[in-house]
Structure 1
């Protein structure tokens, strides 16, 4: 019996073929960076107050400031209230109003006036998502995260059944349709629906591109390929900031970030399928085609006799998604990883959607966030030097502590808050990158995407909750940072329960499992074979043979 790692050494573990593939999967990641963060700009909060044109019908010649003093009450800090106005008196003259004053207030009756000095339009100004409808802006972000959740649930199993390539292509097509369609919506309801579809497609792209690259890459360069793909998302965030700075109309920005996706239709011919997945599914002839191509591009010679010795999932009893919870060792890893995925997403998108809290200039803050995220490329060296477990735990701990330290600084100390926010964002970005590498190494090829899909579902559950947590800030300042900090520290502690996977070959299945269901020493054949497979390469807690 041979393993896919031996075949990969034959065709080249990181030759020209893998480098071309890495470029192909990094480019779509740029656009996921656009669409994951775009609502920071398309749904940006705009200064506003009630429209009170009735005062202009009574008198002329009042300055804008005088009109505001007569129609809009003030907050304690001296700013004008956003959702209240003085009760109109259109039947009185200006002298009566100046003499008697106006103490009674009412909700905005004539709509709102917006400050367009920074934006030409956003979904907030176009659909009046302020005051009682303010929650709809956050709900549109939550809808996108809910789409990511459903995408993880949908595209993980689909990729294990139909392949990585087909799933990526379908996801790209959905991203194109929903992204362009969102630029033409007449109502906020339809925008929210399309954000859900967009999130679903982005989830399919993010999961399967990383896995495809990982399954074609040898042990030594596996973390490099995975982390570099993640860095492409950060580059997308930087480019988005530049586009948003130059394009202040939300519909045009949506079109600009979506229309170029049409170039990915060429991936029908350019993107290869995972030969590792094809072999596990018993499709040896199809796998040979891609392996021959890889060998030719890498100027290597493929010994096809190795392929015939591969044991496929058709020749063993297949592990199912339920075995992730039934087998004790798998259960521990699955539970810990799903919680880490949840915390990563919860904190990452919570910080992304909180840029206005850290700085009034959201363009500068988002650019800094994107720029420091590119530093996650250092994870390549850190993972090689210290391994997966130490990096995972340290990144989560550092991010959690940074979030909590922000609370120690009072308002007005902007520089200190920005530095800590950037440190938290960098740490949680690094944790996210490590988690992607870790997950692809801990789960077997036979159900790798279903397993990562399950973990991703919990990640996007954290993303769904994050925008809603932002609403608590109005009544409970600092509550979001407390939650970000505590959950990160807990996840850091739990990461100590995971096995180290550095310099280990990917596992394709859980062991040689027969078709019989009898128990041996109180355990099923699946479980005994699983633990035997782990024992072949050392104790399970020190290997990745799962």
Structure 2
């Protein structure tokens, strides 16, 4: 029977090969961290309200066309409705003053049929402002985030099988290439659907990199 101490003597050795493998694999892991975080920024909804088109309105009516609503006990401008534009335009043309000649609470409201106006105080542009993912479409933001995790599920199921068949090094480099291409295409997405599809591939390639590199690192070091 062999000596136990001699059999495990190779464990814990930290030579040049160990540190080279350690840093290279950790460099790979760094690339997998950003994709799960940047959705916080690209999916953030800035302050917004219904767009007021360039029509003949007095300054008073232009400031009053967005109704106020109560949110968490605080009175704020509505983000998803406005007073009907044709009614407000007629009242403005006739010279009525909002709040003085007209009781605003009695005016009919409508949705943001002309789109939204977004504050650029924090974000110049993101997927919310580009594709109007607010109000009735605000569910599309968490759905887009979920596609990343669906990609994790798919990638975790197939990466192990591919690694056993083709080798983990090949899977890592192929997944790195797939991740780079997916992220690049996602940044040029022309629709919400394309963004979600690319996010699916990003998640699948990202988890494939992580799992394959982790197992490779353990086997190489041991």
- State the TM-score, normalizing by the size of structure 1: 0.36
Task: Pick from 76, 84, 88 the counterpart of residue 79 of structure 1.
Answer: 76
Report the Cα offset of residue 108 of structure 1. Answer: 0.8
Which protein has the bigger strand share? 2
Q: Take 2:211 and 2:142, find their aligned partners in 1: how far apart are those partners?
A: 25
Q: Report which of the two has the higher share of helix.
A: 1
The corresponding residue for 1:18 is 18
Confirm or deny that 1:198 pairs with 2:202: yes
Distance 2:15 2:123 in 1: 47
Contact 1:87 1:102 in 2 (8 A): no
Aligned counterpart for 2:119 among listed residues 115, 122, 147: 115
Asked if the contact 1:147–1:200 (Cα under 8 Å) also holds between the matched residues in 2, the reply is yes
Deviation at 1:52, TM superposition (A): 2.1
Which residue of structure 1 aligns with residue 138 of structure 2? 134
Residue 58 (str. 1) matches residue 52 (str. 2): no
- Map 1:287-326; keep pairs closer than 5 Å: none
Distance of 1:28 and 1:44 partners within structure 2 = 28
Tell me what 1:102 maps to: 104
Between the aligned partners of 2:18 and 2:159, the Cα distance in structure 1 is 23
SS of 2:75's partner is coil
Q: CA deviation at 1:45?
A: 1.6
Q: 1:75 to 1:11 in 2, by over 3 A?
A: closer
Displacement of 1:73 after TM fit?
Answer: 1.4
Cα deviation, residue 51, structure 1: 0.9
CA distance 1:195–1:126, change in 2 (3 Å)? same
1:67 counterpart = 2:62: yes
Question: 1: CA distance between counterparts of 2:103 and 2:121?
Answer: 31
Q: Return the alpha-carbon distance in structure 1 between the equivalents of residues 7 and 150 of structure 2.
A: 40
Alpha-carbon spacing, 1:84–1:11, altered in 2? closer, same or farther (3 Å): closer
CA RMSD of aligned residues (A): 2.4
Q: Which residue in 1 is equivalent to 2:92?
A: 93
SS, match of residue 216 in structure 1: helix
Using CA pairs below 8 Å that are at least 6 residues apart, which structure has the higher relative contact order? 2
What are the equivalent positions in structure 2 for 1:333-348 lying under 5 Å apart? none
Moved over 6 A (4+): 5-8
CA distance in 1, matches of 2:128, 2:66: 21
In structure 2, the residue matched to 1:49 is 49
Distance 1:208 1:79 in 2: 50
The partner residue of 2:152 within 144, 148, 152 is 148
Residue-by-residue CA offset, 1:290-318 (whole Å, 9 max, x unaligned): xxxxxxxxxxxxxxxxxxxxxxxxxxxxx
Q: Contact 1:84 / 1:106 at 8 angstroms: preserved in 2?
A: yes
Change over 3 Å in CA distance of 1:45–1:8 after alignment to 2: farther
CA separation of 1:126/1:8 partners in 2, compared to 1, >3 Å: closer, same or farther?
farther
Report the Cα distance in structure 1 between the residues aligned to 2:130 and 2:45, rounded to whole angstroms: 12
| TM-score, length of structure 2 as denominator length | 0.85
**3-state DSSP class of the match of 2:82?**
strand
Q: CA deviation at 1:186?
A: 1.2
Structure 2 residue matching 1:75: 3-state secondary structure = strand
Superposed counterparts of 1:415-454, under 5 Å: none
Residues of 2 paired with 1:18 and 1:43: CA distance? Answer: 40
1:11 Cα deviation after fit? 9.3
SS at match of 1:113: strand
Residue 8 of structure 1 and its aligned partner are, at CA, apart by 7.4
Q: How many residue pairs get matched?
A: 210
Matches within 5 A, 1:468-487: none
Runs of at least 5 residues in structure 2 that lack an aligned partner in the other structure? none
Deviation, structure 1 residue 216: 2.5
* 8 Å contact kept, 1:8–1:216: no
- On the 8 A contact 1:182/1:191 being kept in 2, the answer is yes
